[in-house]
Amino acid sequence: MSKKLTRFVAVLLLIALLIPAAGATFAQGVACEEDYSVQADDWLSKLADKFYGDVLAYPAIFEATNAAAKADPSYATIENPDLIEVGWKLCIPSAEDAQALLAGESMMGGEMMAESGGEAFNFVLVPKNLGNPYFDTANVGAQEAAAELGVNVTYQGSATADATEQIQLLNSLIAQQVDGLAVSANDADALVPTGKAAMEAGIPVVSWDSQIAPGGRNVHVNQAVAEDIGRVQVQIIADLIGGEGQIAILSATSTAPNQNEWIEWMKDELSKPEYANIELVAIVYGDDEDEKSYNEAQGLMKTYPELKGIISPTTVGIAASARAVQDAGKVGQVFVTGLGTPNQMREYVKSGAAPKFALWNPADLGYLSIYTLYAIASGQIEGKPGDTFNAGKLGQYTIDENGVVLLGPPTIFDINNIDDFNF
């Protein structure tokens, strides 16, 4: 063999060695970097997580395997991406090819399933009540998630934050056979039978913001650790009133699961020695209605002329309380804190009626709730403790041992940062 020819063969051999052990290249130019035989308890999103670290990349395996099956029937033909069987041979494209396949999908998720014979999901986001900017903002995030996932999310709630009205609404949504419910509960226990009925009818239930007790939902999406939310509000009021004096709590409804849990932590914080000079004189309820909350705040100032602080762990109550303090000419005498939206509280931060308060981003909460619901409804996860799923721009989340997904720590707002936020 001539030297030239030897070199040519060597180069060919080298090229052959450098090419990964790929299977055939299929119609769309996608090669199987690896073949995979389905094991018990596998499902596509779990495999997408394993190979690409992204549960939402499962359509790439689905598409590539079906393309491969056309050229080589030893690969499985997958009709329903939610159903794969043990022993099936799947085509796993390289991460690069998977990305190209996903980018080539005009639609992902629910709509992609629609293309393959399934149907786009119809989810419903249910707030405690309508007419509250906090929940409206959550819906903005939910719609963003819906657009990314190719699902429909409608926003439906009752006029008042009332458990009976909410149960009626949920029953009618169950009868309509919607594909998933994301609910901010008006009562943790009263909603359990309804949540159960939905799940028994095959409708996944995620509670968010205000939880349905375990047993009545698959997962609860919690905005922040309840203990932290409770304690921080006491720490802020103590600071605002100089560590002594009478304070009151103006809450949402008396049955609200989230507020009631936070109030327990407030009491616990107040029992510490450093708050010995602070007296909690009353807990009243404005029912997340502006006028009622305003009247309750006025009532507190009348009944307790020495009152120095109001903690209102509701976006409706805190704005109404701050307005009542301002209208009463008591800025600097009575301080308000609690949980509010920056847009509703901006003027009261600036006037000094409510110089400091806390909240999370409700849009992120709505966004995460829809991703959680989608992960369960699409069969990517069962919704059990330890399950991990991808929530788009927010990243990866894991369900904890109590069936809870945690959004993250709250933000504290004051004059220094209030203008940086617009919700």
How many residues at the interface with ligand RAM, by CB under 6 A?
14
CA dist., res. 412 & res. 400, Å (int): 25
According to CB under 6 A, which residues from 176 to 215 bind ligand RAM? 184, 209-210
CA dist., res. 112 & res. 42, Å (int): 20
The answer to whether 178 and 146 have CB atoms below 8 angstroms apart is no
Q: Which is nearer to ligand RAM, 153 or 185 (CB)?
A: 185
Query: By C-alpha distance, which of 35, 52, 33, 39 is closest to 89?
Result: 35
According to CB under 6 A, which residues from 350 to 369 bind ligand RAM? none
Q: Interface with ligand RAM by CB under 6 A: which range of 17-25, 168-176, 252-260, 375-383?
A: 252-260
261 binds ligand RAM (CB under 6 A): no
Q: Which is nearer to ligand RAM, 48 or 418 (CB)?
A: 418
Q: x/- string (CB under 6 A) for ligand RAM, residues 276-315?
A: ------------x-------------------------xx
Residue nearest to ligand RAM (CB): 134
- Among 61, 198, 247, 316, which residue interacts with ligand RAM (rule: CB under 6 A)? 316
- Among 134, 371, 413, 423, which residue interacts with ligand RAM (rule: CB under 6 A)? 134
CB of 203 to ligand RAM, least distance (A): 22
Q: Which is nearer to ligand RAM, 149 or 407 (CB)?
A: 407
Q: Which is nearer to ligand RAM, 43 or 360 (CB)?
A: 360
- Judged by the rule CB under 6 A, the positions of this chain that interact with ligand RAM are 128, 132, 134, 184, 209-210, 252, 256, 258, 288, 314-316, 339
